[in-house]
Amino acid sequence: MSNVSLGVIVNGATSRLARHQHLPALLAIRREGGLLLSNGRRVIPEPILVGRNAVALRELADVTGIKRWSTNLDTVLAGNDDVFFDVAATGQRFQSVARAIGAGKHVYCEKPIATSLIEAMQLVSLATAAGIRHGTVQDKIFLPGFRKLLMLRKSGFFGRILEARLEFGRWIFDGEHQPVQRPSWNYRKADGGGLLLDMFPHWRYMIDHLIGKVMSVSCTCRTHIGQRRDEAGVPYEVDVEDSAFAQIEVEGNVLVSVNSSWCTRIRRDDVIVLQVDGTAGSAVATPHECYTQADLNTPTPVITIDTPQTHDFFAQWLSVPDNEKAPNSYRAGWERFIRHVAEGAEFPFTLLEGAKGVQLAELAHRSDTERRWIEVPDLERPA
């Protein structure tokens, strides 16, 4: 059978996520001769790089071997490419995705899908009315450690889940003595910055998928570092939160504690660590590892007063083996979405799921402002 080409518009192609995650995933599929469909045909993604900086686009095209690039999004949208993928700065996403839907493109985009729930639901309505296929990147659940955690939950390993704790963060330099690791727009509200909007969409799909349906949230935010230097070394004022401390109630009366910070130094297993405790056992998952401690293997340590602790707590956990080789998490999402477009395969991570992430970020911010618990209502799918 003949191969099928799938034109993919990569908007924001020179961004860090595009260069280091999404483009390598698409190029890996191309190198292997395309994605095999159920009918025996292969789909070969044909990216076109879109951005504002012609020099950077030309350099990226040379490095990747991708021949097509453009600084004119309108011209590209008027072409015959099938899929629009947005990985540009958050503040531009609503307008770009809305334009792509209007042009009849299938859309796939990074999170958050918009800077407000109103705009997110507008995109859901536009996509539904247009009859296009649509999706949101939800990469974390495809990572090996979290895939193992999901397997444990489905197997009944935990018994009744009691609570969970999610620790996330690292130190982001302010640019004074060492170079910054994040774009300055991440710290400006007008550009769609802020830790809540950046990370809580991740926590929403991870908690919904790995633990249970999110029901309510209580959150406190802080701006720990109020002034930073941008990419040119120019000082600017930070007007968004850089740390957030939340309690999220999940169906079944399960409480998930979520500490997120760009102002913390790591002394734990990884940048993200999720622990789930249940009546029959507990598990600790990182992006690549998962460790368990069953009820019958649980020791009884005590606080020692006169001597240092004798327990090696890390050694008391068993590693879940890598019996199944997990694909790159970004590639896993792309393969599912390409199948969705090419043959109508199921793709549960729609724009509505992306809107849920924006909703949690917005309600967490409201909780911080009003200093109270906020219910998280169901979002209605447009008719």
Alpha helices by DSSP H, listed for 159-317, are 195-210
- Would you state the pLDDT for residue 2? 77
Q: Do 54 and 146 reside in the same domain of the chain? A: no
- Would you state the pLDDT for residue 1? 60
- Residue 340: inside a domain, yes or no? yes
Q: Do 186 and 305 reside in the same domain of the chain? A: yes
Q: Is 135 helix (H, G, I), strand (E, B) or coil?
A: strand
| Strands of the sheet with 374-375, listed across from one edge | 318-319, 290-294, 281-285, 272-278, 161-169, 254-261, 243-250, 214-222, 374-375
- Residue 381: inside a domain, yes or no? no
Tell me how many domains the chain contains.
Answer: 2
Q: Do 224 and 155 reside in the same domain of the chain? A: yes
- Would you state the pLDDT for residue 381? 78
Q: Do 50 and 123 reside in the same domain of the chain? A: yes
The residue range of the domain holding 309 is: 140-327+362-366
- The one-letter amino acid code at 319 reads S
Tokens of 358: 């924006």
Q: Do 307 and 165 reside in the same domain of the chain? A: yes
Q: Do 117 and 128 reside in the same domain of the chain? A: yes
- Kind plus residue range of the DSSP H or E element containing 145: helix 144-155
User: Mean pLDDT of successive 10-residue segments in the chain (383 residues)?
Assistant: 90 96 97 94 97 97 97 98 96 96 98 97 98 98 97 98 98 95 93 96 98 98 97 95 98 97 97 98 98 95 90 95 91 98 96 98 98 96 72
CATH code for the domain of 240: 3.30.360.10
- Would you state the pLDDT for residue 150? 97
Say how far apart CA 342 and CA 340 lie, in whole Å. 6
- Would you state the pLDDT for residue 327? 87
Tokens of 58: 């030309």
Q: Do 291 and 306 reside in the same domain of the chain? A: yes
Whose CA is closest to 204, among 330, 360, 350, 380? 360
What's the alpha-carbon Rg for the chain, to the nearest Å?
Answer: 22
CA 78 to chain CA centroid, nearest Å: 29
Please indicate, yes or no, whether the overall pTM of this predicted structure exceeds 0.85. yes
Say how far apart CA 90 and CA 192 lie, in whole Å. 5
- Would you state the pLDDT for residue 382? 76
Provide CB contacts within 8 A for 169, sequence distance 6+: 243, 259, 260, 261, 262, 263, 264, 266, 271
